[in-house]
Amino acid sequence: MKRSIILMGPPGAGKGTLAKKLISLGLVHISTGDMFREAIKAGTALGQLAEQFIKRGDLVPDEVTIGIVKERLSQEDCANGFLLDGFPRTLVQAEALDEITKEIVRPIDVVLNLDCDEKELVRRISGRRVCKVCGAPYHIDTLKPKVDGVCDLCGGPLYQRNDDNEEALKVRLEHYTHQTKPLLEFYQVKGLLHNFNGSLRSEVLFDEIVEFLKS
Ligand code: AP5
């Protein structure tokens, strides 16, 4: 099975939702967005720095992001593979990742790209709610919790991310178009890129991707 995976796609394409399902295959989920949000919650120096960028929808500086990913990928649980969600997002990060994977002798097996049209992205992001405790994603229309405002998985309270507003989303989509989308070509040239329809129902998408990873 393909086990060293990069998950790409614009904000709201469903990366986090899919990644949380793929954990069932024994993959280690590494989300830079989640790592920054954890640091913000814990009030660390990293969190204080990252928050300034995230709330505006801007990218956290490359050197900071590369540093945390390098440290995470060198931990023992990544020896059998990892699922990178939200990294790399710039060419500098992609080139740094090439070096890191050489150092840990764990090359990338595949890049999964989730396509989704912009109208649907806006609908998803504006209705997203997230569990404050375990980070599970919900949607006010399409993925409601059993009890309003309460996470089905851990009972934690649901909240709206402070970068899930119209203004920040515009900035995030611009960064995606100009800095992250060009990486699709970078991985296409390496023969690693595989495109999937992120507009599919999440269960259907999950089955399609599991079949692909096992092929
Ligand atoms: P990050 O947390 O990575 O945010 P993102 O890439 O903008 O992606 P999202 O989390 O918004 O969306 P998603 O694709 O995971 O969608 P989800 O599954 O939740 O990054 C946040 C910030 O951190 C960045 O803006 C930046 O500032 C910083 N950062 C992170 N990484 C960085 C890096 N490498 N470099 C620099 N800065 C970095 O789904 C969205 C909604 O849609 C949910 O409500 C869900 O229920 C619903 N949904 C999902 N799938 C489906 C489906 N198939 N059908 C219907 N609804 C669905």
pLDDT at 2: 86
- Burial (CB < 10 A; 0-12, 13-18, 19+), residue 166, is exposed
- Confirm whether 89 is a catalytic residue: yes
201-210 long-range CB contacts below 8 Å, 24 or more apart? 202/14, 202/17, 202/18, 202/21, 202/143, 205/14, 205/18, 205/114, 206/18, 206/21, 206/22, 209/18, 209/22, 209/112, 210/22, 210/25
103 neighbors 184 (Cβ within 8 angstroms): no
| Catalytic annotation, pick one of 21, 89, 124, 129 | 89
Q: Is 56 a catalytic residue?
A: no
| pLDDT of amino acid 105 | 80
What does the alpha-carbon distance between residue 86 and residue 6 come to, in Å, rounded to a whole number? Answer: 8
Contact 51, 161 (CB under 8 A): no
**CB distance 124 to ligand 1 below 6 Å:** yes
Between the CA of 87 and the centroid of ligand 1 the distance, in Å, is 11
Task: Report the separation in Å between the CA atom of 174 and the middle of ligand 1, taken as the mean of its atom positions.
Answer: 14
Per-residue pLDDT of the chain (215 residues; tens, 9 = 90+): 989 999 999 999 999 999 999 999 999 999 999 999 999 999 999 999 999 999 999 999 999 999 999 999 999 999 889 999 999 999 999 999 999 999 988 899 999 999 999 999 999 999 999 999 998 999 999 999 999 999 999 999 999 999 999 899 999 999 999 999 999 999 999 999 999 999 999 999 999 999 999 99
Q: Give the H/E segment covering residue 201.
A: none
Residue 130, ligand 1, Cβ within 6 A: no
User: Structure tokens of 132?
Assistant: 């404050």
Domains belonging to the chain, first-starting first, are 4-118+171-214 (3.40.50.300)
